[in-house]
C-alpha cells in the first residue's frame, strides 16, 4: 500500500474530518491553509514517525509531572482519546476543536511527546490553541 493510501487510512481510523479544510474549500480538495495540524496532517506526522495503529497514552496538563502521570490514560485510537477528552471536560469543546502537534522528546519519561491543544473552551475561542495535555504512542515506531 502506498504511503498516501496508508495516511488516508490512518486519517479514517482517527475518524475526525478536517473541519478547517472543509470550511475553507467545501470539499477538502485543496491544501489546508490552517497553521494547525488537521487529523490528516496528524496521521501523516505519525506515519512519517513510523507509527502504525499503536495505542496512545495521554496525560493531562497538571502542575507537576508526577501528578500528570498518575492520571494517564491509555487508548486504542486517537478517536477514542478525543471522545474521552470531550467527556472529561464536560463538553467544554468538541472533537473538532482538538489538535495534536509534535512537541519534543521528554527524557524524564522517555516519551516522544505530542501536545494536545484546544481552540475553544466553553464560550471562549482562542487565537492560539491552549494545551490540555500530552500524549505518546505506546510501542514506538515499526
Query: What would the DSSP string read from start to end of 16-71?
Result: ---HHHHHHHSSS-S----SS--HHHHHHHHHHTT--S--EEEEE--SSHHHHHHT
The conformational region for residue 121 under phi > 0 = left, psi -120 to 50 = alpha, else beta, is beta
Q: What is the pTM of this model?
A: 0.67
| 85-138 residue pLDDT tens | 999 999 999 888 888 888 899 999 999 898 999 989 999 998 888 999 999 887
Res 137: pLDDT: 83
Domain boundaries, the chain: 3-137
| pLDDT average, residue stretch 1-24 | 54
At 24-40, the pLDDT tens digits run 444 444 455 454 455 55
Mean pLDDT of 36-57: 60
Amino acid at each position: 500500500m502506498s504511503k498516501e493510501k496508508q495516511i488516508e487510512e490512518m486519517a479514517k481510523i482517527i475518524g475526525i474530518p478536517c473541519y478547517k479544510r472543509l470550511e475553507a474549500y467545501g470539499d477538502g480538495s485543496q491544501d489546508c491553509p490552517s497553521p494547525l495540524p488537521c487529523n490528516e496532517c496528524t496521521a501523516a506526522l505519525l506515519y512519517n514517525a513510523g507509527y502504525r495503529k499503536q495505542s496512545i497514552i495521554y496525560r493531562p496538563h497538571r502542575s507537576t509531572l508526577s501528578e500528570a502521570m498518575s492520571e494517564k490514560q491509555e487508548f486504542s485510537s486517537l478517536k477514542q482519546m478525543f471522545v474521552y477528552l470531550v467527556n472529561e471536560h464536560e463538553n467544554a469543546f468538541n472533537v473538532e476543536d482538538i489538535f495534536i502537534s509534535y512537541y519534543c522528546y521528554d527524557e524524564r519519561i522517555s516519551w516522544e511527546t505530542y501536545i494536545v491543544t484546544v481552540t475553544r473552551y466553553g464560550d471562549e475561542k482562542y487565537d492560539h490553541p491552549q494545551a490540555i495535555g500530552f500524549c505518546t504512542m505506546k510501542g514506538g515506531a515499526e
